[in-house]
Amino acid sequence: MQRRVKVVLIVCSALVLAALLVIFTLSSLKVFLFTENLSVEGFRPIGLDANGTDVYQNGVRTSDIYVGTDPVNPQTGLVSMRFSIWHLDTTQLDSLHLGFSAANSMQTYLEMPEGYPWSPIKFHQDHDGQSIIFEVDDLGFQGSGTVTVNFLIRPWQGQTSFQVEIQYAMHTPAFIQLTHQVVSTQIEIPIKR
């Protein structure tokens, strides 16, 4: 009887250790088993040419999004846009996806991101031909601080606004991290001439 109890204890201990090893391995590889969607307030004006919003996790502000644009430059016909995500020091930004779209396609240019070097950046036209996509799947070191990206946009004649779809993921580093937080929102930006 005691031998059976010892065998059961050894098997249970081995299973617990194996489960902990799997969890630790997934955690260290940033493979998250659970996703928490964070709540985003509506964008509000900040000054003349900027908008911002706060992002909350269980009523606590964890990050905010800033989008600032200049009026169309009469010499170049370009709109300068500054996009920034601030987050708590206790969190790490993992990935970022921005989608630019308008009724008609518009030219969008990426300025050299601040704080070089960056992980591989994908900047391309979407399959629909109407959207421009900026994405970084693994922000790495860049995700430890405020992430800022600048764009130049050439709107078509008579265009009054464009939309930006914003998605990003972040997590709180811990010994065992099974959950990451995701943010998804969008904003329509008026073009000032």
Burial 151-179, CB ≥16 within 10 A → b, else e? bbbebeeebeebebebebbbbeeeeebee
* pLDDT of amino acid 28: 47
Distance separating alpha carbons of residues 50 and 190, to the nearest angstrom? 10
What pLDDT is recorded for position 141? 86
Average pLDDT over residues 96-111: 91
More confident residue, 171 or 2: 171
- For 43-63, write each residue's pLDDT tens digit: 999 988 999 999 999 999 999
pLDDT tens for each residue of 138-169: 998 899 989 999 999 999 888 999 999 999 99
CATH number for region 33-190: 2.60.40
* pTM of model > 0.75: yes
Q: Give the model confidence (pLDDT) of 8-36 as tens digits.
A: 556 556 555 544 455 455 444 455 578 89
Six-digit token pair at 169? 């993921």
* Domain segments of the chain as ranges: 1-31, 33-190
What's the CA angle centered on 36, arms 34 and 41, to 5 degrees? 170
- Mean pLDDT over all residues of the chain? 85
C-alpha angle 175-177-183 in degrees, rounded to nearest 5: 140
Confidence (pLDDT) at 189: 95
Cis peptide before 117 (omega within 30 of 0): yes
Q: What type of residue is 71?
A: P
